[in-house]
Each structure stands twice: as structure tokens, then as C-alpha cells.
Amino acid sequence: MRGGSATGGLFAAAVLLAVWQGVVWATGAAPFILPSPLRVAQALWTSRALIAEHGVVTLAEVLAGLLLGAILGAGTAIQLALSPIARRLLLPALVFMQAVPVFALAPILTLWLGYGIGSKILMTVLIIYFPVTSAFYDGLRRTDPALLDLSAVMGGTRWSELWRLRVPAALPDLASGLRLAAVYAPIGAVIGEWVGASKGLGYLMLLANGRAKTDLMFAALFVLALGAVALYVLLGIAARRLERWSRTGR
């Protein structure tokens, strides 16, 4: 199954490259409008050190934001599951926060935290916080009522019920939220870099665009997309282990 998925992914990438090259040939687009895949590959190779330098910064922002967002989201979900007061106070705030376009907060975060890495990490946290919280909270609420009744009959406390029944049963939902967060996290970091930064792939894309180096911009975008896919795959592996552990305890 995994081999088939990898083969399918490679085939899809090959088709995409072929279509891309076909569009370049058919339209005769200038390289600064739409560079060919070969030009992008050349830019990726010749500017590899520059791209790596900025890529490390974006990777640090994404990983830090992902870690903090996952911890805060999981903690909030547990608090919501345990406390009716928290549900009354926090759920409306979470819905309101989700209704506000997070991208619109990027200039404010840059104004408050400056052009450094802090505003990008916070932007990443904000963009993944709700998916993680929502997925894990839904899982905590869907624990089998029969197991909860059995725990109550056997004198289980609220904390033992949480950690021995509800959290293990909700781990697959948390894993789904983390997979979604892996897709969203690079978006948050790059949006923050577009608003104001001096390092990062988003900053490099803006710089390349301003200098009409579209091939370099595409190369940076390719590295960003590749990193997001790699992060998704790694979290998918971790998610499958979480799901297996929740079923078997091993």
C-alpha cells in the first residue's frame, strides 16, 4: 500500500511537471513570468546555500509553532472536557477566534513582536491552535458511555477516567488534528514572513519577486512545499503509532 502511494505520488509529480513544461512551450511565456521546470531546478541548485539558509529559519518557526500549538491545543481540549465553566467561557471565544481571519492578525503581531522569529511562531500557533483543539475535544467527548459507566461503578475518579479512558480513546482524533496542523503550520510561518521579516523562505520569495527572479521564487516555493509534505508524512507515521497504541497499549 505504501509503495503504491509512493508510486502514485511520483506519477502525479511527473504529470504535473509535464503539464507545466507544456504550458511554457504552448504560451511562450517569458522566464520572468513562468520559468520552466528546468530553470527552477537550475535556480534551486545554484542558490542552494541561500535557500538552505532561509529554509532553516522557516523550519525553526514551523517546528516551534507546531510544538507550542499542539501543547496549547491539547491542554485546552482537556480543560474543555473537564470543566463546564471552561466550556461556557472558552468555546464562544474559540468560535470567535476562528471567525476572525488569522492572516489579518499578522501585521498586528509584527507590530507587537517585531520582525524576529517570535511573531512568526505566534502566527503559526494561532493558525493550528483551533484544529488541534477541536479535533482532540471532539475525541474526548466521544468516549464510549459504557466504559464511563463502568468506571463510575468501579469508583474511578475524574482524573483516572480522563487519563485511562478518555485520552487514550481520543488519541486518533488528536492525531488527525496534528496531521491537519502539519499542513497549516508552514502557511502561518510564511504569512508572517511576508508581512515583515529579514530571514525565511517567505522573505526570500518576496525578495526574488521584487528582483524579477521568478525561478528563484519558484525554487523557494518548491522547498517549502517539500518541507510541508515531509512534515505531514512524519506526523502521519507518529499518528499511526498513536492510533495503534490507543488500541493495543503497545
Per-residue pLDDT of the chain (250 residues; tens, 9 = 90+): 454 555 666 778 888 888 988 998 998 888 888 899 999 999 999 999 999 999 999 999 999 999 999 999 999 999 998 888 988 988 888 888 777 887 888 888 888 888 889 999 999 999 999 999 999 999 988 877 776 666 666 666 667 777 778 888 888 899 889 988 988 999 999 999 998 888 999 999 999 998 989 999 999 999 999 998 899 888 888 877 877 776 665 5
> For residues 99 and 122, what is the distance between their CA atoms, to the nearest angstrom?
18
Position 27 in a domain: no
> For residues 169 and 147, what is the distance between their CA atoms, to the nearest angstrom?
11
Please list, in sequence order, all residues whose beta carbon lies within 8 angstroms of the beta carbon of residue 9, skipping any fewer than 6 positions away.
Answer: none
HSE, side-chain direction, 13 A CA sphere, residue 140: 25
DSSP 54-68: HHHHHHHHHHHHHHH
- Angle of helix 117-141 versus helix 84-99 axis, rounded to 10: 130
Position 89 in a domain: yes
Q: What is the pLDDT of residue 65?
A: 95
Tell me if 188 sits within 8 A of 127, measured CB to CB: yes
Total domains, the chain? 1
Position 82 in a domain: yes
Distance from the first to the final alpha carbon of the chain:
23
Q: What is the CATH number of the domain that holds 172?
A: 1.10.3720.10
Q: What is the pLDDT of residue 250?
A: 57
Position 20 in a domain: no
Q: What is the pLDDT of residue 200?
A: 94
Position 196 in a domain: yes
pTM (2 d.p.) = 0.87
What are the Cα distances from residue 201, in Å, to 14, 38, 70, 102?
24, 20, 23, 20
User: 145 by DSSP, 3-state: which?
Assistant: helix
Q: What is the pLDDT of residue 10?
A: 74
> For residues 128 and 126, what is the distance between their CA atoms, to the nearest angstrom?
6
Element containing residue 29 per DSSP (H, E): none
Q: What is the pLDDT of residue 2?
A: 52
139, three cell numbers: 475525541
HSE, side-chain direction, 13 A CA sphere, residue 223: 29
Range of the domain at 159: 48-248
Position 146 in a domain: yes
Q: What is the pLDDT of residue 15?
A: 87
> For residues 32 and 117, what is the distance between their CA atoms, to the nearest angstrom?
30
* Residue 146: alpha-carbon gap to chain centroid: 35
Please list, in sequence order, all residues whose beta carbon lies within 8 angstroms of the beta carbon of residue 72, skipping any fewer than 6 positions away.
Answer: 125, 129, 132, 133
Q: What is the pLDDT of residue 25?
A: 92
Position 242 in a domain: yes
- DSSP character at residue 102: G
Position 120 in a domain: yes
